[in-house]
Amino acid sequence: MIKKDFKEGDIYIVTSHRKGLTNGIYHGVAGIFTGGKYVRDLTLDEAIELHTEVMNKNFPGLHVTKEMVKKTFGDNPNERYFLNDAGEVHTYSNHEKPDIFDMRYINGEDLSKLAIEKDKWIKDHNVKPDEDGHFRCWND
C-alpha cells in the first residue's frame, strides 16, 4: 500500500519516480535523490504564501503573485500540502514514504540486485500491486 502518513523528520520520495524496469524501486531522476524530509502539514493559504515567497526568492524577475500560485495549484479541494526541511511546499498527491527496498537503494545498495530481491519478496509475501501498478514492500 502507498503510505503517506508522514511524521516530522520522515524521508519522502516522489511517487512518479518509480520505474517499472527496476521493479518499481524509486530511483529519482538520473539516480539522484529527489525526495526530502517532511516537516509539517500546511493549510492551502500557508502553502500559497510560502510557495509565493520561495518563487520570488528563487526567480525574482518573474514577480510571482499569490494569485498566480493559487491558479497554478488549481481547484482540487482534496489536495493536501506539506513543508519540507528545505522550506519548499509539496503536495501529498505525488509524494509518499519509501518502502524497504527504496530505503535500501537510497542508502547505497545496488539497484539491479535490489530489483531481483524485491521480485522474490513480492512472490514470497504475495504482495499485490497498488493502484499505480507498482508494488510496495513493508516489514509490517
Give a yes or no: residue 1 inside a domain.
no
Contact 105, 27 (CB under 8 A): yes
At residue 140, the pLDDT reads 79
Give a yes or no: residue 105 inside a domain.
yes
> Does residue 31 register a pLDDT over 90?
no
Q: Measure Cα distances from 6 to 3, 39, 69, 71, 88 in Å.
A: 8, 9, 24, 26, 16
The number of helix segments (H) and strand segments (E) in the chain equals 4, 5
Domain that holds residue 106: 11-43+80-124
Number of structural domains (the chain) is 1
> Does residue 34 register a pLDDT over 90?
no
| pLDDT band with cut points at 50, 70 and 90 for residue 1 | very high
| pLDDT band with cut points at 50, 70 and 90 for residue 107 | very high
The CA distance from 3 to 19, in Å, is 18
At residue 99, the pLDDT reads 97
